[in-house]
Amino acid sequence: MINKDKVIIYHPRYYELFLAKQANKNFNTQDYLDLQVWFNLAWIDPMFRQEIPELRKIVGKGRFYNEEDKRIVLEKQLEILEDIIPTYRSFMEHNQVEVILSPFYHPILPLLQNTRIAKEANPRSTLPLGIFAYPQDALAQIDLAVKYYQEKFAVAPQGMWPSEQSVCEHVVPLFIKSGIKWIVTDEGILFKSLKKKKRDTRLLYQPYLLKREEGQLSAVFRDRNLSDLIGFVYPKWDANDAVNDFMRHLQNIYLAYKEKDILVTIALDGENAWEYFTNDGHDFLELLYQRISEARYIKAVTINEYLKDHPAKSEIKRLGAGSWIYGEFSKWINNPYKNRGWDYLTVARRELQDMIDQGKPVSDMAWKQMRILEGSDWFWWLGEDYPGYFDRLFRMHLCNFYALIDKEIPEYLHHPITP
């Protein structure tokens, strides 16, 4: 469950265990202990493995780990996690970063609004039998995130990364109502919104204003080509060659627009890329930041900082529907298994609505369980998750939901969605 060529292979004992697993060899207790320790060590950033003495010692030991070694690794993980929010808060106070947020349980907001919106993004999309249409849930997911952000950072968030950059016109008022000032999404949504069939960077490299009855919202659109180079191409390259190539692209953009002040937005999923880079991307990122800092033709800015000095002037009258993946929602709907998952969720949500309509109390735990079920990853993996992990987890959460509302668990939840 971690990259073999960029992580496992660099640690002899971990690689030895990997090969043993591939050969279907039996593991003894020591093998399992070593695997537990190495799996957890491997997911810890190499910087921490080097800087934290206890972890550096365990890495150096290499094998023959014991329960005490495992306990130390797990404790250090928690210490690292506890330091994340204070560290980012410090960076924010020094204007080094702008921390933005996503809807709380990472739902696809347009599909919570109404699953029929999938047809707006892709007219050929197949839909579930039932219609999931709960805009109040989409708003609640945004509001939960805003509240959590304010608790952690003691300030209101300005920007939001809609889950999977999934947007549509119908959710624009929800961002505005929640106090969000700007969102980021994919360039494909921009060209769809402007009804442009060809890519045009003259339109791309600027913020846009979405004026609505509820207020207004700014939107920036990522340069997909540059973002995808980092996400999918440069992990295979030498760090120096990758940075040289990236800077060449930026310089070409500068030369094309040097008489204008433009905004080039690089935006990609921060979860996925670095595992595929050598040394977790440190070599690439450090060199990239250095080169950007030294370049006289670029100024690195936060989006909020840019919008204060260069407020959006161009308007979008209607925001197109879609995500960063092909400008549509087929990763979460539009196959029989994903659609069946939506049908199961729709039935469960209807149970909750019936309780509300009848004036029956709904516990906070039941609401929390429903919000979890609305998350995007269940639907991403249904029909594509060969071992069936997400299938089992999704049905487990549904069973928990029915138990929490004191309803009989439907028989179909005892059977896999994906055959």
Split at pLDDT 50, 70, 90, the class of 269 is confident
Joined together, the tokens standing for residue 355 give 């309780």
**371: amino acid identity, one letter:** R
- Give the rounded distance of the alpha carbon of 74 from its chain centre: 24
Q: What tokens were used for 334?
A: 């539009």
Q: What pLDDT, in 10s, does the model give residues 97-152?
A: 999 999 999 999 999 999 999 999 999 999 999 999 999 999 999 999 999 999 99
Give 70: exposed, middle or buried? Use CB within 10 Å, 0-12, 13-18, 19+.
middle
Confidence at 302, pLDDT banded by 50, 70, 90: very high
Tokens 């009855």 found at: 213
Q: Give the model confidence (pLDDT) of 86-109 as tens digits.
A: 999 999 999 899 999 999 999 999
pLDDT value for 259: 85
- Least confident interval from 87-91, 182-186, 392-396, 415-419: 415-419
Task: Report if pTM > 0.85.
Answer: yes
Predicted confidence at residue 270, as pLDDT, reads 77
Domain ranges (residues) in the chain: 8-93, 109-315, 336-414
- 183 beta partners: 160, 219
Return d(Cα 116, Cα 112) in angstroms, integer. Answer: 10
Ranges assigned E (strand) in 233-329: 314-315
Residue range 188-221, pLDDT digits in tens = 999 999 999 999 999 999 999 999 999 999 999 9
Query: For residue 31, is pLDDT > 80?
Result: yes
Q: For 38-67, what is the mean pLDDT? A: 97
Domain 109-315, CATH among 3.40.190.10, 3.30.1330.10, 3.20.110.10, 3.40.50.620: 3.20.110.10
Closest CA to 413 of 338, 341, 335, 333: 341
pLDDT for residue 290 is more than 80 = yes
pLDDT (mean) for 214-239: 97
Question: Beta strand 314-315 with 208-212: parallel, antiparallel or unpaired?
Answer: parallel
Q: For 204-308, where are the E strands, in sequence order?
A: 208-212, 215-222
Residue with tokens 């969000």: 180
Buried b (16+ CB within 10 A) or exposed e, 211-223: eeeeeebbbbbbb
Q: How far apart are CA 141 and CA 103, in angstroms?
A: 5
> For position 206, what pLDDT does the model report?
98
